[in-house]
Amino acid sequence: MRNDLFANTFPNITRWVTERGWIEIGQDENSKSLVRAIDPGGLVWESNEKQTSIDDALHALENYLKK
């Protein structure tokens, strides 16, 4: 069995993208957030301006999805 570092580090994000929706990474002209969680109904969560690194934003999303 392959050791999946991302799934081990971010089990809730992994579950999200395999069962519920998807994530987007990167800023665009519509949003200053680095990471967004989206499902078929639309935006569910986005990182805030305090999360200035992708690592910080992914950990914040992981914590949000735990709830």
* Model confidence pLDDT, tens digit, residues 6-53: 999 999 999 999 999 999 999 888 888 999 999 999 999 999 988 889
The pairing of beta strand 35-39 with beta strand 42-46? antiparallel
pLDDT at res. 31: 81
pLDDT at res. 29: 83
* Distance, CA of 63 to CA of 1 (rounded, Å): 27
Read off the pLDDT band of 2 (50, 70, 90).
low
Q: Which residue has the tokens 């967004």?
A: 36
DSSP conformation class of 46: E
How is residue 47 written in tokens? 């990182």
8 Å CB contact between 16 and 67: no
The pairing of beta strand 22-25 with beta strand 42-46? unpaired
Read off the pLDDT band of 62 (50, 70, 90).
very high
